[in-house]
Chain A
Amino acid sequence: MAELQEFWRWTEYTWNNPDVDWRKAKRIAAGIDVGSVSSQALILADGEIYAFSNLRTGSNSPDSAHKAVNGAMKDTGMELSNIKYTVGTGYGRVNIPFANRAITEIACHARGANFMAGPKIRTVLDMGGQDCKAIHCDERGKVSNFLMNDKCAAGTGRGMEVMADLLSIPIKEIGELSYQVDTEPAPVSSTCVVFAKSEALGLMRSGWSKNMVLAAYCSAMAHRVSLLLGRIGVEDQFFITGGIAKNPGIVKRLEKELGIESVKTKYDSQIAGALGAALFADTLLQKGGA
């Protein structure tokens, strides 16, 4: 029997920098971001990114946090006791047994974005698995204002997952496929994901290709997010974090709608929260770890 294929998740992986010997580092700090769908752990050695993992969140936060940090430490010889300070963030942040402190994901994403994309970043859009946040921050990555949608699946990763499952298309292919259309269709008109699903099925019955439906859904989602951003005001420079940042089907349409390009970096946009948490941990460690 063929294995049931899952379409809606990003690939899990771990990474470490082989050129760095963590044993020589004076400060080892970690950030753990236990999100609703995925969890990341990131380890800093003397303030530099040494290792990270990007894995799935399991059924409970403590296990997910352990799995994430073990993933980051994989093949490095590092043990949990080597990490001197850990900050937890994300949806499950209060339930990370080995964390010294919990800091909100809003603060962590802003701080992570500041590191990843530089001090000129003023607007951060974090598009997570189950919520979406528009954040305003200063040159140090400190949050000055934010708006969040955590009540409605429309405009969150979850909405895209539902569509990926419905159309049986892996989430990482959606962005590219959504541009393989002859003409850009009008956005899906339903806001609610439940209704958008019915609408998508109706469009397919009336002869639309899957790619057309994806294009229509991506632009609906881009529009939805642009409304949230519009309420807080988009100020240059603009950066997107979270899983959706890896979906050009949303990103390019959103940039077009806003009339502003987002800053692209070499980093995985999903690690921003864990990176911010690790940066906080590193700072706290330098202050004496209290």
Chain B
Amino acid sequence: MITTGIDVGAKTVKVVLMEDGKIRGKAKVLSGFDQEESAREALEQALKEAGLAREAIGSIVTTGNGRKAISFAKGDVTEARAAALGAVFLYPTARTVIDVGAEESRAIKCDATGKVLDFAVNEKCAAGSGAFTEAMARALEVPLEELGPLSLKATQTIPMNAQCAVFAESEVISLIHSKTEKADIARAVHDGLSSRVVAMVRRVGLDSELVLIGGVAHNPGFVESFKRTVGLDDVRTAAEPDFVGAIGAALAAAE
């Protein structure tokens, strides 16, 4: 049976089609204004990639902050559940899943079956999410996808005093005015985000195998800062971090 997982995120909608534990097709589109419309579009793209007709797919399960907005889905699972299921499916030893998305982040403790044992979430504040890097990239006048690589070129670590994204924007601007290298500012931005994420991870405990998921895990600057902040030489990053939640939802659809 082919099952479908749709992760309706704040910024993008991800669709994954799975059959017998294998990914048959996937697609990602911007969430836009109408989440259901975007979900339909992503589903069609995924079907096309898989060479399947709409009739071929069985149950559809959604997750993500817009998971209740998709009328054609059979049901939905929480983001934490989807993240844990997806992460353990991809990395069977993973027991702590760190999901940093566009507007939310969460740290999840789970068991070998992907069952959620404990989790912490930040959904109130942009400072712990991708929105923070987006705002800072804007202030630095650097395209978002270049912010991470830029930060890897930093030659020194400078502190960022502001936590709040709104205040940090002013701080970034005054750092630019005081002729601080953009690369060093970019590192400070990622260090700021990392310290927020790590503080959240510590709330669930930092003692088991980690895996980083969510769109922000694409950002090498964040991953580097995260390793330094958390004090680990190596942190596993999911190969396609933004699809893990959708994979988890597709797995939940098979249950």
- Give A residues with C-beta under 8 Å from B: 59, 130, 151-153, 158-159, 162, 190-195, 202, 205
Interface size on B, residues (CB 8 A): 16
Q: Check A153–B164 contact: CB distance below 8 A.
A: yes
**Chain A residues closer than 8 Å to B219, beta-carbon distance:** none
Q: Are A194 and B165 in contact (CB under 8 A)?
A: yes
Contact status B163-A153, CB under 8 Å? no
Q: Output the least CB separation between A141 and chain B (Å).
A: 29
B230 within 8 A of A: no
Given the complex, which residues of B lie within 8 Å of A191, measured CB to CB?
A: 124-125
Contacting pair A151 B166 (CB below 8 A): no
Out of B131, B163, B177, name the residue touching A195 (CB < 8 Å).
Answer: B131
Nearest-neighbour CB distance to chain A for B135, whole angstroms, equals 6
Q: Chain B residues with Cβ under 8 A from A202's Cβ?
A: 33
User: A195–B103 contact, CB under 8 A?
Assistant: yes
Interface centre among A130, A192, A205 (most CB of B within 10 A): A192
Q: Are B167 and A192 in contact (CB under 8 A)?
A: no
State whether A152 and B33 are in contact (beta carbons under 8 Å apart), knowing that A192-B125, A195-B126 are contacts in the complex: no
| 0 or 1 for each of B93-125: is its CB under 8 Å from A? (1 = yes) | 000000000010000000000000000000011
Write the residues of chain B forming the contact surface with A, with a CB cutoff of 8 angstroms: 33, 103, 124-127, 131-132, 135, 163-167, 174, 177
Shortest Cβ distance from B168 into chain A, in angstroms? 10
Contacts of B166 in A (CB 8 A): 153, 158-159, 162, 193-194
- B135:A194 contact, CB within 8 angstroms: yes
Can you report 14 residue pairs joining A to B where beta carbons are below 8 Å apart? A59-B177, A130-B167, A151-B163, A152-B164, A153-B164, A153-B165, A153-B167, A158-B166, A159-B166, A191-B124, A192-B124, A192-B125, A192-B127, A194-B166
A105 to chain B, nearest CB (A): 17
Q: Are B167 and A158 in contact (CB under 8 A)?
A: yes
Q: In whole Å, how far is B134's beta carbon from the nearest beta carbon of chain A?
A: 9
Q: 10 additional contacts, CB 8 Å, given A59-B177, A190-B124, A193-B165?
A: A59-B174, A151-B164, A152-B125, A158-B166, A191-B124, A193-B164, A193-B166, A194-B165, A194-B166, A195-B103
Query: Which residue of chain B has its CB nearest to the CB of A202?
Result: B33
A153 CB contacts on chain B under 8 angstroms: 164-167
Report Cα–Cα, A193/B177, bound state, in Å. Answer: 24
Bound-state Cα–Cα, A158 to B162, Å: 14
Whose C-beta in chain B lies nearest to the C-beta of A194?
A: B126
A202–B103 Cα gap in the complex (Å)? 15
Q: Which residue of B lies closest to A161 (CB)?
A: B166
> Which 4 residue pairs are nearest across A and B when measured between Cβ atoms?
A153-B166, A194-B126, A191-B124, A192-B126
* Residue among A59, A158, A191, A194 with max Cβ neighbours from chain B (10 Å): A194
A162 / chain B contacts, CB cutoff of 8 Å: 166
CA distance A191 to B165 in the complex (A): 12
CB of B63 to closest CB in A, whole Å = 20
B181 to chain A, nearest CB (A): 20
- Bound state CA distance, A195 and B165, in angstroms? 10
- Chain A residues with CB under 8 Å of B135's CB are 194
State how many angstroms separate the Cβ of B131 from the closest Cβ of chain A. Answer: 5
Report the minimum CB–CB distance from A56 to chain B (whole Å). Answer: 14
Complexed CA–CA distance, A191 and B122 (Å)? 12
Rounded to whole angstroms, the CA-CA distance of A191 and B124 in the bound complex is: 6
The residue of chain B having its C-beta at the shortest distance from the C-beta of A206 within the complex is B33
Q: With a CB–CB cut-off of 8 A, which chain A residues contact B177?
A: 59
Q: Distance (Å) between the CB of A283 and the closest chain B CB?
A: 33
Per the bound structure, the CA–CA distance linking A59 and B176 in Å amounts to: 13
**Nearest-CB distance from B114 to chain A (Å)?**
29
Residues of A near B33 (CB, < 8 A) are 202, 205
Point out the residues of chain A lying under 8 angstroms from B132, CB to CB.
194
In chain B, what residue has the closest Cβ to A153? B166
